């Protein structure tokens, strides 16, 4: 077992609830007490189990034997998933009153940027629950079973998805264009042309994603938020954001949000999940 430190406050109930609502059956299990998932890093694969110890401000991480040779890399992925290195006090100071209601919110990241990006595409124009269901079907049909835990499946690799045709994905319940978008993304990944880490110029990176077939502005920014864990992304034309800013144009919203630079991703999260918040002057 490994232990990762984090700085409080941390809203574990919210984080695990967020992950539970999007959990992929066969790949992830989320309860109030722990998060467990299958994971592969190169030829190494196994299960990762995460259990927070709030009194000690630590996260207990258990890796199955197959992942022990790459433990350091997996632990770094865990930090990215749960935003454990978050500069919470700096961010709270920047956000001010916006963060008062929920100071323990962290930005949910991911352990695999490619997987997150595929799941983001699956989530276009469908509910969160339906996106999770589609991802579960994708994993069941095209993912490999874990060697040591055959009841668990790995999320499909870029190589596997890149070899498919849109017609092969259609029976899972997705339009041909969405299937084509996933396949193109996988092919870019195989070529080494898909950025797995935060680009130096995030805005330019988002524009590149939008140039991919089947990826719109919202999805590209969502990939930047969770896949790259970019700190300073804001979505002024997001449906819920526009509801929080009634009668204000996206341009005005964007200008308003500049007060939260360089932590606008966290501002976005707080606005989404702080019921009743209204903009001040």
**85 catalytic per annotation:** no
Give yes or no for a contact between 173 and 134, defined as CB atoms under 8 angstroms apart: yes
Taking each helix axis from N to C terminus, what angle separates 264-273 and 250-257, rounded to the nearest 10 degrees?
Answer: 120
CA gap 186, 163 in Å, rounded: 9
For 46, the 3-state DSSP assignment is strand
Give yes or no for a contact between 179 and 170, defined as CB atoms under 8 angstroms apart: yes
| 279: DSSP letter | -
Give yes or no for a contact between 243 and 271, defined as CB atoms under 8 angstroms apart: no
Q: What is the dihedral of CA 113, 203, 199, 226, to 10 degrees?
A: -30
Active site residue ranges: 238
């Amino acid at each position: 077992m490994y232990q990762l430190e984090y700085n409080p406050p941390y809203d574990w109930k919210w984080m695990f609830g967020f992950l539970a609502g999007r959990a992929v059956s066969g790949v992830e299990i989320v309860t109030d007490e722990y998060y467990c998932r299958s994971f592969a890093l190169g030829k190494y694969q196994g299960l990762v189990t995460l259990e927070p110890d709030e009194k000690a401000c630590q996260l207990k991480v258990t890796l199955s034997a197959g992942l022990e040779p790459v433990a350091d890399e997996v632990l770094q992925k865990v930090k990215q998933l749960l935003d454990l290195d978050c500069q919470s006090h700096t961010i709270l100071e920047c956000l001010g009153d916006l963060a008062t209601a929920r100071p323990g919110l962290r930005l949910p990241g991911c352990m695999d940027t490619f997987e997150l990006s595929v799941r983001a595409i699956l989530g276009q124009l469908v509910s969160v629950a339906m996106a999770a269901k589609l991802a579960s079907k994708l994993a069941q049909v095209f993912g490999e079973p874990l060697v040591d835990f055959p009841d668990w499946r790995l999320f499909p690799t870029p190589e596997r998805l890149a070899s498919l045709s849109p017609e092969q994905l259609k029976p899972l319940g997705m339009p041909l264009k969405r299937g084509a978008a996933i396949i193109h993304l996988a092919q870019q990944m195989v070529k080494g042309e898909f950025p797995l880490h935060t680009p130096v110029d995030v805005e330019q990176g988002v524009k590149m994603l939008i140039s991919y077939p089947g990826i719109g502005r919202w999805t590209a920014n969502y990939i930047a938020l969770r896949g790259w864990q970019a700190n300073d992304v804001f979505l002024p034309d997001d449906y819920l954001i526009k509801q929080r800013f009634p009668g204000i144009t996206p341009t005005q919203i964007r200008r308003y949000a500049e007060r939260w630079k360089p932590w606008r991703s966290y501002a976005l999260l707080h606005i989404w999940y702080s019921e009743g918040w209204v903009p001040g002057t």
